[in-house]
Amino acid sequence: MRSEQIIRAGRSGYIAIPNVEVGQQVDPSKLLLSIVPERTELYAHLYIPSSAAGFIKPKDKVVLRYQAYPYQKFGLASGSVVSVAKTALGRQELSGLGMVSSDLAKSNEPVYLVKIKPDKSTITAYGEEKPLQIGMTLEADILHEKR
């Protein structure tokens, strides 16, 4: 038995992170896709081990290295901390998000979500401004004041 249903979004945007393929059976409890509104500001989510999260605060400067644009060739990007979560996430919550990196998976240490606002939503590659995209991975260094 085959059925089709059309769902219209409340505003214009684009599909990001589709989790289903054409012809695939869907599970009502699973996320099918995300719709991102046009002109959405991008934020990076960093998961910081609790042992390193103590002195991170909003407005701290951040150096970003996008894996899609190796910094050795395309340079470093910058941003700043917008927020630091008040509660930690355990390994179980992270795996539920599908966000467990190999380093985090090896440790049972809780992590804090640190939200970063990049200074630019593009990166210069081969003389062109390339837009950053949702789902791109990165590495970051959070700069602290010297004591």
Q: Is residue 102 situated within a structural domain?
A: yes
CA distances from 135 to 17, 45, 97 (A): 7, 10, 13
Residue holding tokens 């894996």?
67
What global pTM score does this model have?
0.74
- Exposed e or buried b per residue across 43-64, where buried means at least 16 C-beta atoms within 10 angstroms of its C-beta: ebebbbeeeebeebeeebebeb
Q: Are 95 and 72 in contact (CB under 8 A)?
A: no
- DSSP, collapsed to helix, strand or coil, labels residue 80 as strand
Q: Is residue 126 situated within a structural domain?
A: yes
pLDDT of residue 104: 58
Q: Is residue 119 situated within a structural domain?
A: yes
Residues ≥6 apart with Cβ < 8 Å to 29: none
CATH of the domain at 121: 2.40.30
pLDDT of residue 105: 55
Q: Is residue 64 situated within a structural domain?
A: yes
Q: Is residue 27 situated within a structural domain?
A: no
Q: Is residue 76 situated within a structural domain?
A: yes
Q: Is residue 32 situated within a structural domain?
A: no
pLDDT of residue 63: 98
Range of the domain at 94: 40-142
* Domains identified in the chain, total number: 1
How confident is the prediction along the chain (147 residues), in pLDDT tens digits per residue?
667 777 787 878 777 766 777 778 877 777 777 777 777 889 999 999 999 998 999 999 999 999 999 999 999 999 999 999 999 988 777 666 655 555 655 677 899 999 999 999 999 999 999 999 888 999 999 997 665
